[in-house]
Every structure is written in C-alpha cells, then in structure tokens.
Chains A and B, each alone.
Chain A
Amino acid sequence: MKILVAVKRVVDYNVKVRVKSDASGVDIANVKMSMNPFDEIAIEEAVRLRERGVATEVIAVSCGVQQCQETLRTAMAIGADRGILVLSDAELQPLAVAKLLKALVDKEQPGLIILGKQAIDDDCNQTGQMLAALADLPQATFASKVEVAGDKVKVTREVDGGLETLELSTPAVITTDLRLNEPRYVTLPNIMKAKQRRLDTFKPEDLGVDVASKLKTLKVTQPPERSAGIRVPDVATLVTKLKTEAKVI
C-alpha cells in the first residue's frame, strides 16, 4: 500500500508575524519558513507505517512555490521515499489544493492519504475533508491513533468531549492531531540521503486543475492589542480586585 502525504511550507510556528502597513497581508519576507507541524506528524505516521511493513511507499506532496522543494526534502529526510511538487505561484486556497491532490490520488492510487488537520498560517482546517469529498473517500479527521488491519483502518479521533473511534474502508483520508506521534529529529545523514531521492514536478495544468478562487482577501489588519494590566502582590488583593473592580466573581 502506498501512502500519500501532503506537506505545506508555512511561516515557522515560533515567528510572530507582522501585518503589513498597507493591510495587503502579513510580512513574510525574510521570515523563517518550516514544514507545517501537523504535516510533520503526518509524514512521521506514514513512515512508521512503512517501517512496520504496513505501507510499501511514502510519497510526499507539496503545492506551491519553488521553495516547497525544501519542505519536500525535509519530508524525505524524515523518511518519505519520494516527493512531488505541484509548482504554482498563485495563492492556493484549500479547495485548489484538494483538487490537485485528488488528481494525484487518481494517478498514484494510494491506500491512505494523510494530511495535517490544519495549516498554522491560514488556520483553515479544510483540505483533508475537501480531498475526501472530491475523491469520494471516507475520512477520519483529528486522528490521535491509526491502526491498519487488512483493507480497514481504525482511527481514534480527538473530538470536543473526548475521543471517538471510527473504522473506515481504505482508501481513506486521515488528518492528524497533535497527539498522534512525536516526529523524529532529522539527522544529517538522512538530510544527505534525502537529496538523492526522486522529486517530480508538475504544474496545475499538467494535472488538469484550475486553481483560480472566487475568494478575495480585501484586507489584513492587526487585531486589537491587549495590554498588560497590573501585578497584584498577593491572593487577597487579587480576590478583592476580582470582586470589586472587575466584578467577575
């Protein structure tokens, strides 16, 4: 069974982004970029399934600009066997990415497709579910445990009240939550090895996908700043303030 994993290049999670003064977006020039943390978990899970003999090949896919190659090399350093870059300079919305992935699913016929539950830049939480819908596949989002048995996969999901377990027939789409695994550290020898692995590049038109969107970002602004209040010396003062000043208890 092949596993297809989608990885996105995003602003590193440690960076606090700044809104541009003309409100056209956030300033990401000269900002550190990394693989979306949830996608790292997705790659790790796929690689573990291959190491356990459940999967035969792990293919990492990234959609976006040329530099997404670096993200794919990181995925291969974690253990993906090969990479596919869908090269586009357009601002890709989740629906467009889902269509591109659907075209690759048709081509590669993976048994599982694993994605991060959300990207930490646009915070959309859409692509996996959209791919599942377009490809008419069952889905298990927010996974904290994945067990493959024959042509079924049992997935434990993080839901609002706790956990639930679903069984899906494969092929299926899974999106990862934080507790699924802890991705391994990438070692230098593996980074070197990753450079040798195959990386194919397609354009959206090669896959017959129109990536245009009817969504327009009118402006991006700074949220209202919350300023620090006061320090209280002790618990008694805190309780008094909460009762008489804030009136919340």
Chain B
Amino acid sequence: MTVLVIAEHDNASIKSATLNTVTAAVACGGDVHVLVAGHNAAEAAKAAALIAGVAKVLHADEAGLAHGLAENVAAQVLAIASSYSHILFPATASGKNVAPRVAAKLEVSQISDITKVNSSDTFERPIYAGNAIATVQSADSVKVLTVRGTGFDAAAATGGSAAVETLSAVAASGKSSFLGAEIAKNERPELTAAKIIVSGGRALGSAEKFTEIMTPLADKLGAAIGASRAAVDARYAPNDLQIGQTGKIVAPQLYIAAGISGAIQHLAGMKDSKVIVAINKDPEAPIFSVADYGLEADLFVAVPELTATIAS
C-alpha cells in the first residue's frame, strides 16, 4: 500500500497545509509519496523531500503546471494514480479544485474534509457546518480524500531525506489559461497555520475602521487577521480572510472575535480553536456561547485598550 499526497506549494516553498496532509497520509498506512506538480519548482520539491515521514518525492515540471490549473494538475495525478491506494489533497482552495476531477476520472467517490482516519478505509468528516460528524467507509479501489488541516498535526518540515524522482510532465489541456492574480502580500502568518487569529465582524463598520482597529492588535500579537462573512461581503476585508463553513477552517491556540455575532456558519470555521475570546456589545450574541472569555464591550474602545494593555 502506498499513499500519494499532492503538495500545496508556490513553486518555491511548501505550504503548511501539506504537512497536515502528510500526517493524515501516514495514518492511512503504507509509504507516503509526495507529488510536486509545478513550474521551476525544484526548491519546493527539495523542501518536500525534507518532510518527516515522506519516502519519495515525485516532481513534475512544466509551464502548464505553473499556476495549478485543475485540468493539468489532475491529468498529472491521473498519470501516476494507478500505483496508489490513497490519494490525499489538502482541503485548500487548490486541493478542493483538483481532487474531485481526479476522483471522477477514477470513477470513485471522494471523501471531503476528513478530520480523522479511523482505518485505511474509514474516515470521519464534518457535515452540516460541523453540527454533525459522519463516519464513512469506502469500498472504492482507491480512496481520494481531502484533508482538513485542523484535524491533523503538522508533520515536521525537516528531518526527512526522501529521494526526488523527476516525472515526465503531462501536456497542458489548452482549454484553460491563467491570466493573472491579485494575491495580497503581507508578513503575517497564514490563517490556517497561525497560532493566534484576531477576527473582525460587521460591527467594524468600514474597511478603514477594520484596518485601524484590527491591525495594531494583530501586529502586537504576531497574529493573522480573519473576518466574518458579513465583514467580507461588506468589503471591509478581502475574501481570503473569511472564516467559516464555506471559507477557511481554523483552529489556532487563541481566537479573538471582535464584533462578530457568531452565526453557525462562522462558528463552523473556528469552534475548534483552543481558546476563544469574544468581544461584543450585544450580551445575547451567540458567539458568547462558545467563548472561553467573553467581554461585553464596545469593540472600538475594548480592542485598542487590549492592544495597549498587551503592549505594556
């Protein structure tokens, strides 16, 4: 039995979601191979070879793989799929984009967002925004899985010494092309890997206030910034900050929710955080029902005060 992990990377480095996926792969049993499909991605392949628990890295390099186009990446995975009992993707935007194409071509069901590996054919996954946990068993010949990062510890990024094997890259489909991207550059930790997240809601009232109030606290704590769907819909914060059922799922050591009421869709994205702090002036806000520490206060006063108090 050999398990394949599809690496999440930016051609230069491996994204942290890959590390959690490797841990899930180890739990499935058997050797773990990692596919790095990219362009000029030798550095990412080298980094993948250092991950503890990885037996082999497969590196496919081709212009058509540069931006992770689903058609091309799926074809690359399918070219080697027959050697594997399990094919695992991180449940990230790119993993979710590609995995079902692979499963459909293999004529197997996909099991999305697994949070636990019970055995090589049985897995747990949340449904209904995390309000229920389904235990599912697959009799398919190959298991195609996406892995929710918060369900598995990250494998050590160093300590391994896997061999890197070069694959011949598949030809691009020609039916899709990458035109461009607007990727926010900042020095903050990735949301899904951050130890501390400070998250703002609709109560912030504007994009300016969102930045003015939330950024100093995040800077002080070395935290990532998140947002509720309401704040993103109102354009107070960019879409990639959305935490919730259909956004990012996070489980940091500390989650500070400011001005977030706590709709079930939001709670679905953060209720596995170790410690939750809620700052809200509505004493009835549902967010208080999951918060370890609730502060009933006006966030425009409390958050700057929190920033100042932590500083001193």
Contact = CB atoms under 8 A, between A and B. Distances in A.
A137 B140 CA distance: 25
A129 B221 contact: no
Given A118-B246, A126-B100, A229-B291, A218 B122 contact: yes
B67 A164 contact: yes
Given A121-B127, A160-B93, A162-B238, A239 B132 contact: no
B182 interface: yes
Interface string A118-133: 1011111111111111
A120 to B, nearest CB: 7
Contacts of A26: 127-128, 131-132
Given A124-B110, A167-B176, A216-B137, A248 B196 contact: yes
A122 B127 contact: yes
Contacts of A229: 276, 291-294
Contact of B109 (A17, A19, A95, A121): A95
Interface residues of B, number: 87
A179 interface: yes
B120 interface: no
B94 A214 contact: no
A165 B179 contact: yes
A219 B140 CA distance: 18
Contacts of B288: 228, 231
B297 to A, nearest CB: 8
A238 B293 contact: yes
Contacts of A52: none
Interface in A163-180: 163-169, 172, 177-179
B264 to A, nearest CB: 6
B271 interface: yes
Nearest to A164: B181
Nearest to A124: B112
Contact of B294 (A165, A221, A228): A228
B195 to A, nearest CB: 8
Nearest to A165: B179
Interface stretch (B19-27, B53-61, B68-76, B162-170): B68-76
For chain A, which range describes its interface: under 10, 10 to 19, 20 to 34, or 35 or more residues? 35 or more
Contacts of A213: 109
Nearest to B309: A239
B239 A231 contact: no
B100 A133 contact: yes
A173 to B, nearest CB: 10
Interface string A198-230: 000000000000000111111111110010111
Contacts of B212: none
Contacts, number: 258
A223 B176 contact: no
A228 B254 contact: no
Nearest to B239: A158
Contacts of B137: 215-216, 218
A125 B94 CA distance: 12
Contact of A178 (B101, B103, B179, B233): B233
Contact of B133 (A130, A177, A220, A236): A220
Contacts of B99: 126, 129
B157 interface: no
A162 B294 CA distance: 31
A1 B305 CA distance: 58
Interface string A131-167: 1111001111110100000000010011111111111
28 contacts: A26-B127, A93-B109, A120-B129, A124-B110, A129-B70, A132-B70, A133-B102, A138-B176, A139-B97, A141-B97, A142-B97, A159-B183, A163-B183, A163-B239, A165-B179, A166-B176, A166-B178, A167-B176, A168-B175, A172-B176, A178-B246, A215-B140, A219-B135, A221-B132, A235-B297, A236-B309, A238-B293, A249-B254
Interface of A: 11, 13, 16-17, 19, 26, 38, 93-95, 98, 117-118, 120-134, 137-142, 144, 154, 157-169, 172, 177-179, 213-223, 226, 228-232, 234-236, 238-239, 241-242, 246, 248-249
